Amino acid sequence: MSEIMNSEKLKDHTILPNKKMKTTMYVQKETYSKIDSLIQLSGGNQSRNDVIEKAIAFYFAYVTGQMSQDYLCGVFGGKMEGLIGTLATRFSKSSFRSAVELDMLTRMVASVLQISKSDYDKLRVKAIRDVKQTNGSIDILEAINEAEDS
The better pLDDT of the pair 96, 15 is held by 96
Residue 1 scores a pLDDT above 60: no
d(CA 63, CA 144): 67
Per-domain boundaries in the chain = 1-45, 47-111, 115-150
d(CA 21, CA 23): 7
What pLDDT band is residue 2 in, cutting at 50, 70 and 90? low
Whose CA is closest to 130, among 146, 118, 117? 146
> Is the whole-model pTM more than 0.85?
no
Write down the H helix ranges in the chain: 7-11, 29-41, 48-113, 117-134, 140-149
Residue 60 scores a pLDDT above 80: yes
What pLDDT band is residue 86 in, cutting at 50, 70 and 90? very high
How does pLDDT run across 100-112, given as a tens digit for each residue? 999 999 888 888 9
